Amino acid sequence: DARKEGQSLALKVQTGTTAFFPGRDSRTFGYNGNYLGPVIRVHRGDDVEIAVTNALSEATTVHWHGLLIPGEMDGGPHQLIRPGTTWRPVVSVRQPAATLFYHSHVHDRTAEQVYSGLTGVLIVTEDSEKALGLPSEYGVDDLPLVLQDRQFEDGRLVVPQGMMSLMMGRRGDTLLVNGTPNPVARVPRRLARLRFVNGSNARIFNLAFSDDRAFHWIASEGGLLERPVELRSLTLAPGERAEILADFSDGRPVALETGADLNMPMMMGMQRRLRSFFSDLLGRSREHILRFEPQGGASGTKAAVPERLAEHERVDAAQAVRRRRFVLNMGMGGMMGGRGGMMGGDRGSGMAMHGINSRAFDMKRIDEQVRLGDIEIWEASGEMMAHPLHIHGVHFEVLSRDGGKPTVRDQGLRDTVLVKEPVELLARFTQAATKAPFMYHCHILEHEDNGMMGQFTVG
């Protein structure tokens, strides 16, 4: 359901009942509905007031992931919306067209609230996009697709608990697209623009079509790439978005599938030979996500993928005034007493499992201070498994990975990127965060809730 709004819109955060499977009701959360939320479309240049009313019986926040706006509008853990109250941020949209999303970011409860349904798609449009002739009929050949894995028992959604979930992130045995299991998309027999949002807590997707057809990757988190990139599979980590152009002009039904998620610490700990045995085994198995059924006659004209998409203004790495280093720590060492500092913090629960630079997140501690307008290089690496690192308030560029060139998938303007081996990220900090800080964290939401997050001011 698209909701094209003028200059103001309202979101109600509410509890609901969702029948993911017939006759099986699940207790869920949603925005203006039972599960997930409306697709919000804003246009470059808009100033939009959003009234967010919390009708839950617990506190929440709504974070606009990928919007470049000041810290106090960002909806991070500091913009708490207590039950029965309304938060009214005004967002000024001054950035390129892109697929963004919004979700709960209340500290300690982000993972459970998102798992229960608090995620929605936010699309930024702009005039210059039209000239490219990309598919643009919303819901027809321009489809937002929120991909999630969720756990069901007897057809009812359950929120997994337990040590394994907290260590590796909550996963699930069922794949949902926009909240629907086993979905079918009827698309015209032509090119379609698919806007993927990985709305899982922890699952990394390896997307491919069942017939391994090629498609074109056209946009990353920050918007259009400079040129389309032809691919046959695409990795999408939690928090990442990617837009592709898929060609359905041959009229043949085809499925979107995903390879197994190999991002498990126990795999990483295995001996190389054992690990490659398992990843071969798992790598061949694919899960079904979504079936496309092309409809109608062939559209005569051959679908055209534009050769150029956008011009990016380059940030000059030589102008970087600072380098900061971040190690995303998995807590096993700390929990066994091997690493000091991880157990600290003033969290009520008394123990944090994960951290960054050996410290667990603390709402009252500012970890980094950046000067407004500065260009910096942030170097990050992750322990034990790949972690999708997300930074609020900036779009960055991946300068290097593991000491070498970035990969094909690293290109474009990013706000979330997979980190294991060291990456260098280049960013210019253009948004002020003085009244409230921005966050940087792992987008495996259980890692985030359990301490793998820090905060920084920009001013």
HSE, CB side, 13 Å, CA atoms: give it for residue 113.
Answer: 28
Please give the residues from 203 up to 262 whose contact with ligand C2O meets the rule CB under 6 A: 239
CB of 419 to ligand C2O, least distance (A): 15
Rounded to an integer, what is the distance from CA 51 to the centroid of its chain? Answer: 23
CB of 66 to ligand C2O, least distance (A): 8
Interface with Cu ion: number of residues (CB under 5 A): 6
Neighbouring residues of 8: CB distance < 8 A, sequence distance ≥ 6: 48, 49, 50, 51
Least distance from ligand C2O to the Cβ atom of residue 122, Å? 11
Report the residue from 442, 445, 453, 458 that binds Cu ion according to the rule CB under 5 A.
442
Here the tokens at position 349 are 């629960």
CB of 50 to ligand C2O, least distance (A): 16
Choose among Cu ion, ligand C2O, none what residue 387 binds, the Cβ cut-off being 5 to 8 Å by kind. Answer: Cu ion
Residue that is written with structure tokens 């956008």 in the block: 310
Q: Is 444 in the site for Cu ion (CB under 5 A)?
A: yes
CB atoms within 10 A of CB 175: 23
Q: Phi, psi at residue 282, to the nearest 5°?
A: -75, -35
**Residues forming beta bridges with residue 231, ordered by sequence position:** 215
Smallest gap from Cβ 447 to Cu ion, in A, equals: 3
Question: Mask: binding to ligand C2O, 276-315, rule CB under 6 A, as x and -?
Answer: ----------------------------------------
Cα–Cα separations (whole angstroms), residue 409 to 132, 189, 380 = 22, 28, 17
- What is the rounded CA–CA span in Å between residue 311 and residue 305? 16
* Cβ 456 to ligand C2O shortest distance, Å: 12
| Residue 71 or 345 having the CB closest to Cu ion | 71
Asked if residue 148 lies in contact with residue 180, where contact means CB atoms within 8 angstroms, the answer is: no
Should residue 203 be labelled a site residue for Cu ion when binding is judged by CB under 5 A? Answer: no
Q: Closer to ligand C2O at the Cβ: 392 or 447?
A: 392
User: Among residues 65, 109, 203, 354, which is the contact residue for ligand C2O, using CB under 6 A?
Assistant: 65
For residue 111, the partner it binds in ligand C2O, Cu ion, none, with Cβ less than 5 to 8 A by kind, is none
Transcribe 393-424 into DSSP letters: T--EEEEEETTBPPPGGG-S-BSEEEESS-EE
Picking from 226, 217, 180, the residue whose alpha carbon sits closest to that of residue 195 is 217
Residue 170 interacts with Cu ion (CB under 5 A): yes or no: no
Whole-number minimum distance, CB 76 to Cu ion, in Å?
8
State which residue, 228 or 238, has the beta carbon closest to ligand C2O.
Answer: 238
- Residue closer to ligand C2O by CB (options 387, 390) is 390
Establish if 439 lies at the interface with ligand C2O (CB under 6 A).
Answer: yes
DSSP 110-175: HHHHHHTT-EEEEEEE-GGGGGGT----BTTTEEEEEEEEEEEETTEEE---SHHHHHH----SEE
Q: Is residue 193 a contact point for ligand C2O (CB under 6 A)?
A: no
Q: CB-wise, 320 or 418, nearer to Cu ion?
A: 418
Residue closest to ligand C2O when measured from CB atoms? 65
Instruction: Give the footprint of ligand C2O on residues 68-107 (CB under 6 A).
Output: 103, 105
By the 8 A CB rule, do 63 and 106 touch? Answer: no
Largest separation between any pair of C-alpha atoms in the chain: 67
> Which of 328, 327, 365 has its CA nearest to residue 344?
365
Among 109, 241, 392, 447, binds ligand C2O (CB under 6 A): 392
Q: How far apart are CA 360 and CA 450, in angstroms?
A: 8
Closest approach of Cu ion to the CB of residue 55, in Å: 23
Out of ligand C2O, Cu ion, none, what residue 239 binds, judged by CB under 5 to 8 A for its kind, is ligand C2O
User: Rounded to the nearest whole angstrom, what is the least distance from the CB of residue 199 to ligand C2O in the complex?
Assistant: 10
Query: Going residue by residue from 366 to 405, which x/- string records binding to Cu ion, judged by CB under 5 A?
Result: ---------------------x----x-------------
CA dist 391 and 456 (Å) reads 10
Between 134 and 417, name the residue whose CB sits nearer to Cu ion: 417
- What does the block give as tokens for 165? 């979930």
| 3-state class (DSSP) for residue 333 | helix
Q: Which of ligand C2O, Cu ion, none does residue 103 bind to, with CB < 5 to 8 Å depending on kind?
A: ligand C2O
The CA-CA-CA angle for residues 26, 31, 36, to 5°, reads 55
Residues lying near Cu ion in the complex (CB under 5 A): 65, 387, 392, 442, 444, 447
Residues lying near ligand C2O in the complex (CB under 6 A): 63, 65, 103, 105, 239, 390, 392, 439, 441, 443
